[in-house]
Amino acid sequence: MIEVRNLKKSFRVHVKKPGLLGSMRSLFVRNWVEKHALKGVSFNVEPGEIVGLLGANGAGKTTLVKTLAGIVYPSDGDVKILGHVPWERKNEFRRQIALIMGQKAQLWWDLPAEDCFLLLREIYSIPRQKFHDKLNFLSETLGITEQLNIQIRRLSLGERMKMELIAALLHEPRVVFLDEPTIGLDFTAQKAIRDFILQYRSQHQPAMILTSHYMEDIKALCKRIIIIREGEFIYDGPLQNIVNTYTKHKIVSLHLEKEISPPNIPHEIVAAEPQFLKIKIPRDQVAPSVNSLLQSLPVADLTIEEQAIEDVIEALFRGEM
């Protein structure tokens, strides 16, 4: 459904020296720097799949999403979505996709939400009865029916985001791009939107790409993630496999029956208290090391933990793995 091959995008960025003199010089002599936002990325997304796209600010996430949606023209590479080339912007293509950006509104602030939806019905040529059935279903599912006749500007942030979702999904798109859909929302609103996205996916089986800085969004919605760093994919695979792929240690926590003097342990001690130790042990040495600890220390309780997914992904963003 989504096929991307060797996609590249470069921008020319004007650079000037600081201060008034630098500004004046830039009027006559311009210095340009080539910024490579995408460096030959390739991937597929199948129907019914929600792929999480992760990366630090400036890594290339939004550039990739905008290119796939046909907003940005690439420097090189091939993309086919539902058999169409996105940047050709054919009406048949645009009727089958949706782009939801948490930081940008597509609805008109001075109009009630229902008036905005009526205009979208005309744009997408949605039959009247189908439109009303769809609107009723979406608004009831999101618990927003009572707010349909209120001006967009008077709605809360969570209510506005729910209206944006309705606007994007009224025409039943087969491909959905979600760029930070829960940004700035409280916990209750975030969960409601995540539940709704899962329900919509279950019923309509669209291909979906999600970008988010909230790991709760990724863990709840995505079985597969792509991590992008400086325009290149550094991981594309199951979310649950990332810890095993990139971490070489496990964390062993020991609660002791009594206070002891600092033990001689041949591993890194992450934390130490009178009756508590946290130790980082290489994965292939966990079993013999734990057995040795149990024999040499008065252990009351012991836990073995993987490194948190959030910590692993953050380290990948920084290039530490």
Domain boundaries, the chain: 2-242, 248-305
How far apart (Å, rounded) are the C-alpha atoms in residues 237 and 23?
A: 46
Query: Are 38 and 81 within 8 A, CB to CB?
Result: no
Query: Over the stretch 120-131, which tens digit does the pLDDT of each residue have?
Result: 999 999 999 999
pLDDT score of 102: 78
Q: How many CB atoms are closer than 10 A to CB 159? A: 19
Low-confidence ranges of the chain (pLDDT < 50): none
Q: How many CA atoms lie within 13 A of 251 on its CB side?
A: 11
Tokens linked to 226: 């792509």
Closest CA to 163 of 193, 186, 183: 193
Tell me the C-alpha distance between 234 and 251, whole Å: 25
Say which CATH class 248-305 falls into. Answer: alpha beta
How distant is the alpha carbon of residue 113 from its chain centre? 27
Contact partners, residue 260, CB within 8 Å, separation at least 6? 274, 297, 298
* Lookup result for tokens 């600010």: 57
Considering only CA atoms, which of 38, 31, 49, 52 is closest in space to residue 5? Answer: 38
**Degrees (nearest 5) of the Cα angle 175, 11, 69?**
10
Over residues 282-320, the pLDDT tens digits come to 888 899 989 988 888 888 999 998 878 888 888 888 776
Question: 273 has which bridge partners?
Answer: 276
The amino acid sitting at 262 is P
2-242: which CATH architecture? 3-Layer(aba) Sandwich (3.40)
pLDDT for res 71: 93
Residue 34 burial (10 A CB sphere; 0-12, 13-18, 19+): exposed
